[in-house]
Amino acid sequence: MTAAALAFWVLAVLAVAGAIGVVTMRQPVHSALCLLASFMAVAGLFVWGRAEFLAAVQILVYAGGVMVLFLFTIMLVNVRRQAREAALNRLTGSAVLVGVLLFALVGGLLVAEARRMGGPEGAPAASAARLSTTVVEAAGKAPVEVKGNSQAVAWSLYRDYLLPFEIASVFLLVAMIGAVVLGKRTMEKFD
Amino acid sequence: MPFPLSDTLLILPELFLTTAGLVLLLRATAVGKAGERSIALLSVASLVVTGLLLWVPAALAGGAARPAFGGMIAVDRYSAFFKVLVLVAAAVTILFSLRFLGTSPYPSGEYYGLILFSTVGMLFMAAGTHLASIYVALELMALSQYVLAGYFKQETKSIEAAAKYFILGAFSSGILLYGLSLVYGATGTLDLAAVSQALAQGPRTPLMVVGVVLVACGLFFKIASAPFHVWAPDVYEGAPTPISAFFAVGPKLAAYAILARIFFEGFGPSAGDWSRVVAASAALTMVVGNVGALMQSNVKRMLGYSSIGHAGYALLGLLGYGTEYGLWSILIYLTAYALMNLGAFGLVVLLEAKGYAGESVDDFNGLAKKNPWAAAAMVVFLLSLAGIPPTAGFVGKYFLFSAAMKAGWVWLAILAVLMSVVSLFYYFRIARAMYLVEGEGELKWREEPAVTAAIAVCAAGTLLVGILPQPLVALARTCLLP
Amino acid sequence: MDYPLWLIPALPLAGFLLNGAASLFFGWRRAAAATARWRAEHPDEEHGHGEAPGAQAHASHAPGAAHGDDHAHGGGHGHQGPALPWLERLFYGVVGVGSVGLAAVLSFGVVVPFVKESLASAHGLPPAVEVVYQWFSSAGYTVDVAFRLDALSALMLAFVTFVGTLIHLYSVGYMQNEEGYGRFFAYLNLFMFSMLILVMADNLPMLFIGWEGVGLCSYLLIGYYYDKDFAAAAGKKAFVTNRVGDFGMLLGIFGVYALFGTGSFSFLDAAKAGAVSGAGPLSVYAVCALLFLGACGKSAQVPLYVWLPDAMAGPTPVSALIHAATMVTAGVYLVARTSALFVLAPDALTLVAWVGAGTAFFAATIGLAQNDIKKVLAYSTVSQLGYMFLACGVGAFAAGMFHVFTHAFFKACLFLGSGSVIHALHHEQDMRRMGGLWRRTPVTAWTMAFATIAIAGLPPFAGFFSKDLILGSAFGAGHPLLFGVGLVTAGLTAFYMTRLARMTFAGEFRGPEDVKSRIHESPLTITVPLVVLAALSAVAGLVGVPAVLGGTNVFGRFLAPSLAHVPEHHVSHATEYLLMGLSVAAAVAGIVLAWRWYGQAGATEETPSAPARAFSERTGLLGRLVANKWNVDEGIEALVLGPFRAIGRFLWRGFDALFIDGIANASAFLVELAGDLIRFFTTGNVRNYALTFTLGLLALAVYVWIR
């Protein structure tokens, strides 16, 4: 096993373990910290895949912004413990069974597919190369080669995916409005 | 740039509607509750203007399908058809809402704004030809609707509906997104045309099959077809009634638009796989929807189950892929579906004077005597929902069932006929209540000309499409996917 | 023709719209006036109840609880006068009768030349198809709004509009005290429109419009007295059984489409040529069986007949028009119309014949046990419809349609006559409380007598010719068993009809005295249609006099081009005379027996048949039985008719309870079961929902993968 493969597996296990921790921890703060660990591991995976820009964004936005907001909320609302509800209910058995089946189905298919395409090592390198070097063709001009991670993301996001990006901005606006509408306490005072 | 800046003109209607939504939001803060009516009417006006503006991209595209923004969306007649339907649904919803907010303590600007933003999402869904743009537009639509479902947040039912809708919607989004990622993994692209090309060339891989199934399941949630329908009755019952009407029509139209586009344009080569998914779900949906509706005494729930059943019928049209029927039978059916469902919900809105009155079948008792016009309109909608000629529902079903038969799914067509007959029982419970049962006490009635007018338009449309369907049929046949 | 065919159905439609709009408008005015009055009377409460116009207007004339048996017109209102101002009534009446009458005139203007020319030419005229517009068209498959004029539709057109006009006219007098006068005429006009669409349609989808339309009107009119529970229940029963029929009908339409690639009646020509494009004879059989299922629902055949007797809850003109003369014959019309298809599947025809014969017999036995005058007629209708199907089943489609034709006159006459009786007796329908009415209501009595003779099948009245033709065809086609069933049924028919006439009109009045003093003959609008129908009951059969009696079957010759060609079976003249003699003998026997047993002196309200009572008193005394010549009659009454009655009663109550309730219970159980399943998955719990999703997803993925 090469060093790169070892790194991948360590990060992957961390990310999944963190995610499991989020849903199993009884203390909200512990869940939040597990989430942070998971985020960090994913950022590491980005680095491993040579998507340094995405890794930075992952840390800034998720580990930085989102996590801090979560922790603030937890502290402000002062939830110490989840409501006294049994962690396991009568559905747990069937849920686990269904989950395992789904995992087996999808996972098995993925493994089979990966084998068919020639192992897991080849794929990420290829996509990383695609990300770091992009040939940009503009109408009527000579193709431009874009170097570097952030530039590639920028080109992709603001050029190829401009429209979804803009729709997403309306989406965020709606999210904001929704938060205000549903969260505002004194509804009678709207006028 | 891979596309000229002038492509912006191709999304002029959507841009206008987004701007209008923003302006109305601000305006509502200025005029307050007192100006609710003006805000609502302005919203309707902006929807109308948006509809008129649809002419601009159509003229620019010059009748042919024209990709815009580097293949993210396309301006074609197919999307125009759905856009018009969606705009009508939104406008009718707003008219239904006119006095609904009324004395409630809820703000009006955000309400209408959210409807408009949700409509923007639907417009983009109708046009999307790229899985990324389709997905983002879908989420825009859905998020607005989660909020609208819980808009009456002092009503436990409403907030419960919102919570369920949100959680399950997120769950289904996860499924959809996972499916999309598998499709990307299998084909290396999210562009529908390219996906189709890759599928046609490559072998049938497990990855692609599971991807297709997952995408189908994620979308089935949006059209509320079994077994992904369970949320629908709860949400329709809990949400404010005009919003229920909107849910029953708008998102379904848009979801069908993308469902057909993704399956036909993108997954066409693997039709052998998805048609089995569709057939299984259609059969289950028709049975669950119609049998479920039999047992409801709450009209909103009943209409919820009934719309599940209708989603099942419409799925039959997808099975017509590759035959001469297929797609346009869906277009016709959805037109009929929109008209009759909006109308039926509209009458519930009218009856809903206070609280949840008008939701029980008994609230329709004696309506024929107290308000014969409303009863007559309701009969038209019920006949159409049950698929009895000469109404729009009959024409729509006729083509759908023919499509299923042409495609060789005879047992499904028989099941569909059987379920149509079953559906008569619960639809006629309402008709019976109106005509053959004596009403007690005074009739609670919301006097609102806008609602009445909207219902009248729906009833007239239902009859017109039933009696003179040919123009619509001819139109639908020109609005197919390439 | 100088005018388009579509004008004919358009007139009743216009009548419906006018009457509907007017009754809505006037109803609204009355409600508003009542509100104003109420407000004037309660000035203080104005504030609290300001929004109660509908409720108050309604309460001011809420129907009382005490109604007659099946008939409640004017009942409970406390007065017998008209409920509406005369001008308004005049409007409804003129529009209602006028539109249908004009339609009748127009249709005769079309039909008469058609009949003339058709009979003048050797093979009849080809069907005239008038396409109004293209209803919808899709890839290679067009459905037009098109009207068809051929022999079959000309026949239906003529008698439907004619009988319809008479019954509309009758309703003017009969319903005049009704508050819902305008509504009634609106529904009746809508019915006429639908019926005309049904018989004039040139394709199955359009026929289906009429099919559902008449069903809807029937439903609304059965439930016309909706303040009474049983009327609503009867409507429900009609609804359920007709849905079973609809299922067959719809699948049949799709089946025809699958077989021939078109729903237009041009497929019949293809069928005549034997050009079935679809699969083999089994699917033709299936399509025929499905269409016949639809016909059974509409035409009240076993086992779907149960709704028709209950449908008598509706007003009597409705019973006459919809549930006797026109709508219920739609099933026969459908079979005759698609006869070219049916002859391709002989097994389907056998099915039709046996279902028809069975229905004819069973309904007749049930008719023996009824005491409600309208119920007797209802079972009689079911029985006669069975006759028509019997005819179709043995390939004698023309004979079946002939019986449809004659039956329309005499059964409409009987129903209208019974309505007149009910009217005269102030809503009494029980024959045990009637008797001796002929002195007070001579016109009604005489007209009903004519119709009774006609249905009993005595020559030269209409029923004789059609019934004889059916029995002769059954025998000639090699079905002596079917002939036997038909013959027995003919005897039973004569018996129960004579019983009805005897109990109603002959003897002494058995009802309460206060009613007796008020018995009166009905007004002209009621008696005129009766007289016309009675006259036709007498002579309508003359268009189909068989050759053996020196006539020509003009009727059959006229209808032939529209029907499937079935090789005729010739029987010798002697046989034919014999068959005729047998059927007349059966009829005479029935009439004589019934006349002697019912309405004699000694009859009481409980036991109108004195012999039956006497027999039960003397049971076991064999000697006296022999000694007394009456005991033969009594014996027959008890030993032969008794079992028949028992069968009848069983079919009426037992079969109904076992079969229909059984089906209802079974389906209720299934629905419950499905409900439990659905509830199991629809608990309202989000976790369950998510689990359901995932399960469904897994199932679908596996299903697709293992294909």
* pLDDT score of C48: 41
Nearest to B85 by CA among B261, B442, B275, B342: B342
- Percent pLDDT > 90 in chain C is 23
Q: What is the C-alpha to C-alpha distance for residues C115 and C159, in angstroms, rounded to an integer?
A: 13
Q: What is the C-alpha to C-alpha distance for residues B230 and B146, in angstroms, rounded to an integer?
A: 16
Interface subset of A 25-84, CB within 8 angstroms of B:
none
Helix H or strand E encompassing C174: helix C151-174
Question: Which 3-state string (H, E, C) describes C186-209?
Answer: HHHHHHHHHHHHHHHECEHHHHHH
Chain A residue with Cα closest to C694: A98
3-state class (DSSP) for residue C47? coil
Q: What is the C-alpha to C-alpha distance for residues B44 and C315, in angstroms, rounded to an integer?
A: 49
In this prediction, residues B351-369 reach a mean pLDDT of 71
Q: What are the phi and psi torsion angles at B445 (to 5°)?
A: -150, 130
* pLDDT score of C566: 77
| pLDDT of residue B108 exceeding 60 | yes
| DSSP per-residue codes, C338-390 | THHHHTT-HHHHHHHHHHHHHHHHHHHHHHHT--BHHHHHHHHHHHHHHHHHH
In this prediction, residues C155-175 reach a mean pLDDT of 90
In this prediction, residues B324-352 reach a mean pLDDT of 89
> Of C68 and B262, which is predicted with more confidence?
B262
Q: Is there a cis peptide before residue A124, judged by omega within 30 degrees of 0?
A: no
Q: Would the CB atoms of B162 and A187 count as touching at under 8 Å?
A: no
Q: What is the C-alpha to C-alpha distance for residues C651 and C644, in angstroms, rounded to an integer?
A: 10
Yes or no: say if B291 and B307 are a contact pair by the CB < 8 Å rule: no
Mutation choice for A interface testing from C685, C698, C703 by most A CBs within 10 A: C698
In this prediction, residues C443-463 reach a mean pLDDT of 90
pLDDT tens over chain A, length 191 residues: 688 889 999 999 999 999 999 888 878 888 889 999 999 999 999 998 888 888 999 999 988 888 888 888 888 877 655 555 555 566 677 778 888 888 888 888 778 777 776 654 444 444 444 544 555 555 455 566 666 777 878 888 888 889 999 999 999 999 999 988 888 765 554 44
In this prediction, residues B103-125 reach a mean pLDDT of 89
Q: Which residues of A touch B154 (CB under 8 A)?
A: 187
Q: What is the C-alpha to C-alpha distance for residues C272 and C560, in angstroms, rounded to an integer?
A: 13
Determine contact: A23 vs chain C, CB below 8 A: no
* pLDDT score of B338: 95
* pLDDT score of C654: 56
Yes or no: say if B293 and B305 are a contact pair by the CB < 8 Å rule: yes
Q: Which residues of A touch B124 (CB under 8 A)?
A: 163, 167
Mean pLDDT, rounded, of chain C: 79
In this prediction, residues C443-455 reach a mean pLDDT of 92
Q: What is the C-alpha to C-alpha distance for residues C55 and C174, in angstroms, rounded to an integer?
A: 29
- Rg (C-alpha) for chain C, rounded Å, is 27
| pLDDT of residue C50 exceeding 60 | no
In this prediction, residues C373-400 reach a mean pLDDT of 91
Of the ranges A136-145, B405-414, C362-371, C638-647, the best mean pLDDT one: B405-414
**If 0-12 CB within 10 Å is exposed, 13-18 middle and 19+ buried, where does residue C555 land?**
buried
In this prediction, residues C98-109 reach a mean pLDDT of 93
Hey, which bits of C66-224 come out as E strands? Answer: 128-138, 141-149
pLDDT tens digits along C677-702: 666 655 667 777 888 888 888 888 88
C282 contacts: CB under 8 Å, gap ≥ 6: none
Tell me which residue in A112, A163, A177 faces B206 most closely, judged by beta carbons: A112
* pLDDT score of B246: 94
Strands C128-138 and B66-68: unpaired
Q: Would the CB atoms of C671 and B291 count as touching at under 8 Å?
A: yes
Residue in this structure with the two tokens 């009824």, named with its chain if needed = C370
Q: What is the C-alpha to C-alpha distance for residues A165 and B401, in angstroms, rounded to an integer?
A: 40
Q: State the smallest CA–CA distance between residue A72 and chain B in angstroms.
A: 23
Q: State the smallest CA–CA distance between residue B395 and chain A in angstroms.
A: 37
* pLDDT score of C26: 83
In this prediction, residues C357-378 reach a mean pLDDT of 85
Q: Would the CB atoms of B70 and A159 count as touching at under 8 Å?
A: yes
C37 contacts: CB under 8 Å, gap ≥ 6: none
Mutation choice for A interface testing from B117, B154, B184, B189 by most A CBs within 10 A: B117
pLDDT tens digits along C55-96: 433 333 333 333 333 343 433 333 456 667 878 888 888 999
> Of C399 and A78, which is predicted with more confidence?
C399
| pLDDT of residue C282 exceeding 60 | no
Helices and strands, counts by H and E, chain B: 20, 2
Chain C residue with Cα closest to B210: C701
Q: What are the phi and psi torsion angles at C488 (to 5°)?
A: -60, -45
* pLDDT score of C629: 39
* pLDDT score of B443: 57
In this prediction, residues C547-572 reach a mean pLDDT of 80
pLDDT tens digits along C111-135: 999 998 888 887 778 888 888 888 8
Write out the two tokens for C235.
């409507």
| DSSP per-residue codes, B183-239 | HHHHHS--BHHHHHHHHHHS---HHHHHHHHHHHHHHHHHHT-TTS-THHHHHHHHS
Interface subset of B 351-370, CB within 8 angstroms of C:
366, 369-370
Subunits close to B (at least 3 CB pairs below 8 A): A, C
Q: Is there a cis peptide before residue B471, judged by omega within 30 degrees of 0?
A: no
CB neighbours (10 Å) of residue C118?
Answer: 22
Chain C residue with Cα closest to B216: C697
Chain A residue with Cα closest to B7: A163
| pLDDT of residue B307 exceeding 50 | yes
* pLDDT score of A189: 46
Q: What is the C-alpha to C-alpha distance for residues B218 and B176, in angstroms, rounded to an integer?
A: 4
Amino acid in position B18: T
CB neighbours (10 Å) of residue B241?
Answer: 25
Under the banding of pLDDT at 50, 70 and 90, the label for residue C668 is: low
Chain C residue with Cα closest to A95: C691
Ranges of H-type helices in C540-685:
554-559, 573-597, 610-618, 622-627, 630-635, 642-649, 661-681
CB neighbours (10 Å) of residue C560?
Answer: 18
> Of C149 and B108, which is predicted with more confidence?
C149
**Structure letter (DSSP) for residue C521:** P
Tell me which residue in A89, A95, A105 faces C698 most closely, judged by beta carbons: A105
* pLDDT score of B258: 94
Q: What is the C-alpha to C-alpha distance for residues B64 and B160, in angstroms, rounded to an integer?
A: 45
Q: Which residues of A touch B68 (CB under 8 A)?
A: 163
Subunits close to C (at least 3 CB pairs below 8 A): A, B
Q: What are the phi and psi torsion angles at C299 (to 5°)?
A: -100, 15
Helix H or strand E encompassing A146: strand A144-147
CB neighbours (10 Å) of residue C665?
Answer: 10
Nearest to C429 by CA among C503, C520, C325: C503
Q: Would the CB atoms of B441 and C55 count as touching at under 8 Å?
A: yes
Under the banding of pLDDT at 50, 70 and 90, the label for residue C247 is: confident
B217 contacts: CB under 8 Å, gap ≥ 6: B172, B175, B176, B179, B228, B277, C693, C696, C697, C700
Angle (CA) C42 C47 C53, round 5°: 65
> Of B102 and C462, which is predicted with more confidence?
C462
C-alpha distances in angstroms, B2 versus A141, A155, B58? 11, 11, 21
Q: What are the phi and psi torsion angles at B74 (to 5°)?
A: -135, 145
Q: What is the C-alpha to C-alpha distance for residues C383 and C132, in angstroms, rounded to an integer?
A: 38
pLDDT tens digits along B120-169: 999 999 999 999 999 999 999 999 999 999 888 888 888 888 888 999 99
pLDDT tens digits along C188-221: 999 999 999 999 999 998 999 899 889 888 888 8
Nearest to B19 by CA among B51, B52, B43, B40: B43
Residue in this structure with the two tokens 């709004």, named with its chain if needed = C145
- Percent pLDDT > 90 in chain B is 45
* pLDDT score of C679: 60
Of A47-61, B385-399, C361-375, C389-403, the least confident: C361-375
| pLDDT of residue C271 exceeding 90 | no
> Of B436 and C197, which is predicted with more confidence?
C197
| pLDDT of residue B429 exceeding 50 | yes
Under the banding of pLDDT at 50, 70 and 90, the label for residue B271 is: confident
Chain C residue with Cα closest to B293: C675
A with B: how many residue pairs have Cβ under 8 Å apart? 107
In this prediction, residues B265-284 reach a mean pLDDT of 89
Interface subset of A 136-175, CB within 8 angstroms of C:
none
Determine contact: B231 vs chain C, CB below 8 A: yes
C-alpha distances in angstroms, B192 versus A163, B264, B268? 16, 9, 10
Q: Which residues of B touch C690 (CB under 8 A)?
A: 167-168, 171
Ranges of H-type helices in C440-572:
442-456, 462-476, 480-505, 513-516, 524-539, 554-559
Q: Which residues of C touch A102 (CB under 8 A)?
A: 694, 697-698
Determine contact: C694 vs chain A, CB below 8 A: yes
Interface subset of C 331-370, CB within 8 angstroms of B:
none
Nearest to C148 by CA among C205, C211, C197, C99: C197
Query: C397-424 vs C524-539: helix axis angle to the nearest 10?
Result: 150
Q: Is pTM beyond 0.90 here? A: no
Q: State the smallest CA–CA distance between residue B3 and chain C in angstroms.
A: 38
Mutation choice for C interface testing from B298, B308, B398, B478 by most C CBs within 10 A: B398
Q: What is the C-alpha to C-alpha distance for residues B113 and B88, in angstroms, rounded to an integer?
A: 16
Yes or no: say if C12 and C97 are a contact pair by the CB < 8 Å rule: no
ipTM of the complex: 0.90
Q: Would the CB atoms of C694 and A91 count as touching at under 8 Å?
A: no
Q: State the smallest CA–CA distance between residue A51 and chain C in angstroms.
A: 33
Beta bridge partners of C149: C128
Q: Which residues of A touch B109 (CB under 8 A)?
A: none
Q: State the smallest CA–CA distance between residue B358 and chain A in angstroms.
A: 26
- Rg (C-alpha) for chain A, rounded Å, is 22
* pLDDT score of C676: 65
**Structure letter (DSSP) for residue C543:** G
Plot region of C418 (φ>0 → left; ψ -120 to 50 → alpha; else → beta): alpha
pLDDT tens digits along C471-525: 988 988 888 899 999 999 999 899 889 888 888 888 777 777 777 778 888 888 8
* pLDDT score of C99: 93
* pLDDT score of C363: 85
Subunits close to A (at least 3 CB pairs below 8 A): B, C
pLDDT tens digits along B215-239: 999 999 999 998 888 888 889 888 8
Determine contact: A89 vs chain C, CB below 8 A: yes
Amino acid in position B96: F
* pLDDT score of C392: 93
Q: What is the C-alpha to C-alpha distance for residues B415 and B412, in angstroms, rounded to an integer?
A: 5
How many angstroms from the chain centroid is the CA of residue B339?
10
3-state class (DSSP) for residue C149? strand
| pLDDT of residue C601 exceeding 60 | no
Mutation choice for C interface testing from A91, A106, A109 by most C CBs within 10 A: A91
Yes or no: say if B133 and B124 are a contact pair by the CB < 8 Å rule: yes
